[in-house]
Amino acid sequence: MFTSCIRKLIKSFRKYDLFRNKTLHFNLKSSLKVRKPLTSEVLTRHLSQRKLPHWTSFCVYYHDVINDQFGESHFNWQVDGKNYHILRTGCFPFIKYHCSSRPYADLEAENAFYTFLKILNLGIPTLAYGIGSWFLVKHSEEVIMPDGIVVKVYFLNKEKPDAMY
């Protein structure tokens, strides 16, 4: 009985394409799983695909990724030996990244401060930013993951390759 209900659920997901052509994996032990890339994988792959730019700023939909960087607001990120300072915020329906190539620095205090501000404001400004971004997105690119999954990232403005700002 239970497995037939799950199978019907899977068929309805496929019928309405709720997962945007992502592969559905069914395992009786762990229920229903959808393979989505981690946000950290998308971040690394995007920077690599763009040949390690000096800076970039992009959004990715929450429903396209697994948010493994929850609670991180300002942190260092290494890609192929190059360090980036990442400003990251969840602004529903997106996760927003601003990446600048900079030397490694201790960002613990800034990370705690930005996280505190988001909590203090109850996330209202970030929600407004996300909804505003939804209407203002003008450009998108595809990030191709090593396993072949394609994730779209969105930009408010088209970025020039090798731009310093």
Quick one: pLDDT at residue 129?
86
Residue 84 bridge partners (DSSP) = 77, 101
pLDDT tens, per residue, the chain with 165 residues: 433 444 444 444 444 433 444 444 444 444 455 589 999 999 999 999 999 998 899 999 999 999 988 888 999 999 999 999 999 988 898 999 999 999 999 999 999 999 898 889 888 888 888 888 888 888 899 999 988 889 999 998 777 776 665
Q: How remote is the C-alpha of 17 from its chain's centroid?
A: 21
The single residue listed with the structure tokens 């609670």 is 71
Quick one: pLDDT at residue 82?
94
- What is d(CA 84, CA 60) in angstroms, rounded to the nearest whole number? 18
Quick one: pLDDT at residue 34?
53
Quick one: pLDDT at residue 22?
43
- What is d(CA 106, CA 74) in angstroms, rounded to the nearest whole number? 10
Quick one: pLDDT at residue 85?
95
Check: CB of residue 76 under 8 Å from CB of residue 86.
yes
Q: Count other Cβ atoms within 10 Å, centred on residue 103.
A: 7
Q: How remote is the C-alpha of 47 from its chain's centroid?
A: 13
Tell me the torsion sign for CA atoms 79, 85, 87, 88. positive
Quick one: pLDDT at residue 156?
85
The single residue listed with the structure tokens 């209900």 is 5
Quick one: pLDDT at residue 158?
77
Quick one: pLDDT at residue 10?
44
Identify the three-state secondary structure at position 91. Answer: strand
Quick one: pLDDT at residue 148?
86
Phi first, then psi, for residue 20 (nearest 5°) are: 50, 55
Quick one: pLDDT at residue 45?
94
pTM over 0.75: no
